[in-house]
Chain A
Amino acid sequence: MSSTAKLKIWRGSARETGRFETYEVPFEPGQSVLDGLRWLRINKDPTLAMRFSCINANACKECMMQLDGETVYACTARLEPREMTLTPLPNKKLVRDLVTEIAPPSERFSAP
């Protein structure tokens, strides 16, 4: 079964000037949204920024983003053969693309 998921991804480093880019990624049942994003970086566009660390275990909790307006972990949200809209967390400071500042203030870098 060959099928594709269409990922509509918010890109940019400022909320006002951002834009959506849409990519098609191959889809297999059981895959996660993060699988699709990682495939995309390797095969289409390595400039896409997102946070991820543990990839699959849902242990690091770094891959938080919004899928169709709802906050999810990209590693546990399932990829589906349809258009899926991915946006950065709306209530956190934007860093780049799907990356936001999610660390507690005491664990962030700041000039001394």
Chain B
Amino acid sequence: MTPEPVSIETDVLVIGSGAAGLYAAIEAARRGARVFIAERSLIGRGGATVMAQMTVAAALGEEVPDDPQHHYADTIAAGRGLCDEKLAQLLCEDAPACIRELDAWGVGWARKNGHITATTAPGHDRPRCVYVDFINTGPAVSKTLRTQIARKDAIRKAGDICIVDLVVSDGEVTGAVGYHLGSSAPVVIAAKATILATGGLTRLYRRNSASANMGGDGYALALRAGCALIDMEFVQFFPIGHLAPRLVGMDPIMWDPFRYKLGGQLLNGAMEEFTSKYGSDEDGKYVLARDLATYAIVKEVEAGRGSPHGGAYLSFEHCSEAALREAFGPVIDRLAENAIDLTKMPVEVAPIAHYHMGGVKADAAMATDVPGLFVAGEVVGGANGANRLSGNAITEALVFGRRAGKSASTRVRQTTRRDLGAGDTRAALDLVRAEATGRTVPNTAAMIAKLQAVMADDVGPLRTAAKLKRAVAAIADLTAELGERPLGGGAFDLQRLEWFDLRNMLAVARAVAESARNRTESRGAHQREDFAQTLPQWLMHQRTTMRGGEVEVSGAPAEALAS
């Protein structure tokens, strides 16, 4: 028997507890709202923030003069013409205040000579990217925000909650339906405002740099609630994700901080520098934009000049042990435990799914198309255009989280509480309360692995019409295999959780593949081998919506659709 639903009533429901969700909760609470945070993993531990070992961009101007307008110019340039200018403006203007607030809360930004110190990440015109040593930025941000929410009685929070669907009453989002993993109890949450802070979709890909629970569920929740998504074709691949030798206990994107501090050489399988062939001479400094570096590495591997495991070499052999130790302290010991001595050997790196530029369409108040629903962090589409600048991900989590919390609290003051009607929650509760069947086929874990292979092989950094057509067909097959009713059941059944995950992942995968198939040009992170040029008529956003349960992509220029 499925337990009876548990009802929760709150002013603001925040879904997700990375930096965006936590900051949103803090802001809404200090503006007088009662908040409930629902997290499908553990509070502050799942998602991407805790994995972010790199830097946070903000025009603090402490060491060298800076201004949000310079940060904005770099963000726009990196976005290859597609940044939503209002969102990018907000990102850059509010960043310093958020960074200083975290500083006041004791996050521990690295300092030199009494100033918060910054490094120059690729694409920035000056040192602008702050960090916490050693490679501890994300965990420190997460811990700091978690400590703040623990101090606020107005914020309740619960982990192990899988949100299955948003509740829409008369065209407005009025809460959500989900279940508690540990007990399998259905949960109905009524809220005057709901904030999606669910992160991105990197779990769609075989090799990725984020947590196992970032499968794009926020995009799917928003789609089913009637929101539009934009720019879903733009998946950022982080060019130098760790590939070999096997390294445990470290985030695969760990080499970026090494490059900020120590430069390092990117070499092909013949130990030759190669990025200059693709239009960017590194010259011993780390300046290469992510989309270009990814392209160069994949092309070099295709030409048979890759490293043994199918990537490129990254070498710090020019660095002394003392220099390495000074820059990375205990991290050097962790590498030694993995039998990696950077003074004597290069490592192998390759592009790895890292971040999603696309997402839910929102205005500068973080409001979506559907009243009552706000978004924060990576789930927001458009701020970073076709290619995100290094360092802007945690920044947008903080800035958009804070703004969403403010907007949600405003809505709370203007909205009277309403009870959720049985009709509004019926469909979602029916899924959540599906009886345990004992059915173990299909194997949901294997289906996720298969979807990840499809996306990596055919919707990866280099795309063609044939690959994308094959991907769309494979996604349709997996969708049919998944069926209409959840399998598994009972306490902490990963199969049932994965069924709900796949329901979301497959819809989102289709949005990415169809958007990529439509865009017959190459721009930023979307590279088409059959359409290599960047075309002026494609200086536009595509929208993804859902109609009758089907994903629809629209917005292509007329001549592209006709071809």
A residues near B, CB below 8 A? 13, 28-32, 38, 41-43, 46-50, 52-62, 75-76, 78, 95-97, 99, 101-103, 106-112
Contacts and interface: CB of A to CB of B under 8 A. Distances in A.
Report, nearest first, the 9 A-B pairs whose CB atoms are least far apart. A30-B246, A109-B158, A57-B251, A41-B445, A96-B492, A107-B43, A60-B45, A58-B249, A76-B249
Main secondary structure of the interface of B (DSSP, over half): loop
B515 to A, nearest CB: 27
Contact of B248 (A13, A60, A76, A109): A76
B446 A46 contact: yes
25 contacts: A28-B246, A30-B338, A31-B246, A42-B443, A46-B443, A46-B495, A47-B440, A49-B492, A52-B212, A53-B42, A54-B51, A56-B247, A59-B45, A59-B51, A60-B41, A60-B42, A60-B211, A62-B42, A62-B45, A76-B249, A95-B492, A103-B43, A107-B158, A109-B160, A112-B7
Nearest to A112: B8
Given A30-B246, A47-B493, A109-B183, 18 more contacts: A42-B446, A46-B446, A46-B495, A46-B498, A47-B488, A48-B494, A52-B212, A57-B252, A60-B42, A61-B45, A78-B248, A95-B491, A97-B492, A103-B160, A106-B157, A108-B159, A111-B185, A112-B156
Given A13-B490, A58-B249, A109-B161, A42 B212 contact: no
A29 to B, nearest CB: 8
Contacts of B161: 109
B444 interface: yes
A102 B182 contact: no
B449 interface: yes
Contacts of B159: 103, 107-109
B211 A109 contact: no
Contact of A42 (B50, B150, B449): B449
Interface of B: 6-8, 41-43, 45-46, 50-51, 53, 138-139, 150, 156-161, 180, 182-183, 185, 187, 211-213, 245-252, 338, 440, 443-446, 449, 488, 490-495, 498
A109 B182 CA distance: 9
Contacts of A110: 158
A29 B246 CA distance: 8
Contact of A57 (B246, B249, B444, B495): B249
A46 B42 contact: no
Nearest to B150: A106
Contacts of A112: 6-8, 156
